[in-house]
Chains A and B, each alone.
Chain A
Amino acid sequence: MSLHWIHVTVSYALVVGGFLILAIATTFRHAAAKRRLAQLDPRAARRGQDRAQDTA
């Protein structure tokens, strides 16, 4: 692999990796908030599920 390709590969890895890490962290944070909210306010979670079923 030439030096030019090494620079290209590292650039792509940095950008894709950065976005991927942030996306995974956001998914975990989002899921944790959703789960905690469903525990604290089960009525609101049920309302949301009903609405989703109605839409489907």
Chain B
Amino acid sequence: METADTSPGARPLPLSAAPPRAGLHRFANPGRFLQLSGRVLPWLAAAAVLTLGVGLAWGLFLSPPDWQQGETVRILYVHVPMAWLAMGGYAGLAVGSILSLIWRHPLADLACRELSPVGAMATALCLATGSLWGKPMWGTWWVWDARLTSVLVLFFLWLGHAALVRAFDDTERGARMGAILALIGAVNVPIVKFSVDWWNTLHQPASVTRLGAPGLHVDILYPLLVCGLGFSLAFAALVLARTRAAVMERRIRALQLAAARRADIA
């Protein structure tokens, strides 16, 4: 079978749409992935734009101000989805790393590589919007409490992963190192989640995902859920588009190498 990548250590990526195989390896074929993702991506992007348009307008103009925090509570509609994406995205990175390490799924390597810059951006935005919320509410931009510090560690893990997978000439070795870092760093995700319960923090405890009834009024909860869905769709569309571009770039490199070899022989 023809293969896509000839860079040192890279796993062979089959190019043509081979007959379907069992399990997840069925989707390891880049030809099939490009075909499927090409159909899904426009719908995903359109759904993200629509949902975000509705959610952000709802949060910014239609939802009521908080009786205590006033208008500042509107930062919630962008800050909380960024926190969900930072943690949920990292859980996705850990799952992709398991697929890459155990089943050697070649597309999982590429997806993880393209996921980490988007995850790092979401975490940075979570920290920045949190800081902008903290100043008027707590009187300080930053405090070294357990929640804020563990999110900062999560940001460094995202950055570390993005840098590590790009630090090796041997792409497979880079992916393996990145997967190990992602799995070790996954320990931090429950620490972020439960830090507000385990330690005494300035950051408030969970209000949406706490057991029993959510601690938010529906006038605030519904636009928050719409914004959460919209940002999740946008996040997924970005990662999918970046993975598609990465698959095509690998194919370009393989074709350029093949052309150079042919020129050498001639």
Contact = CB atoms under 8 A, between A and B. Distances in A.
Interface of A: 2-5, 7-8, 10-12, 14-16, 18-19, 22-23, 26-27, 29-30, 33-34, 36-37, 40-41, 51
Given A4-B136, A11-B79, A40-B255, A33 B121 contact: no
B155 interface: no
Chain A facing B: main interface SS? helix
A51 B36 CA distance: 12
Interface of B: 35, 56, 60, 70-72, 74-75, 78-79, 82, 117-118, 121, 124-125, 128-129, 132-133, 135-136, 231, 234, 237-238, 241-242, 244-245, 248-249, 251-252, 255-256, 259
Nearest to B15: A44
Contact of A8 (B74, B244, B252, B259): B74
Interface centre among A4, A10, A23, A27 (most CB of B within 10 A): A4
Given A2-B71, A7-B72, A11-B78, A29 B245 contact: yes
Given A10-B132, A12-B60, A37-B248, A26 B35 contact: no
B225 to A, nearest CB: 17
B33 to A, nearest CB: 13
B254 to A, nearest CB: 9
Given A29-B242, A29-B245, A14 B75 contact: no
Contact of B121 (A2, A4, A18, A34): A18
Contact of A33 (B71, B72, B248, B256): B248
A39 to B, nearest CB: 9
B75 A22 contact: no
B1 to A, nearest CB: 15
Interface centre among A3, A7, A8, A12 (most CB of B within 10 A): A8
B238 A33 contact: no
Contacts of B128: 11, 14
Contacts of A5: 71
Nearest to B41: A30
Given A7-B132, A22-B118, A41-B255, A34 B248 contact: yes
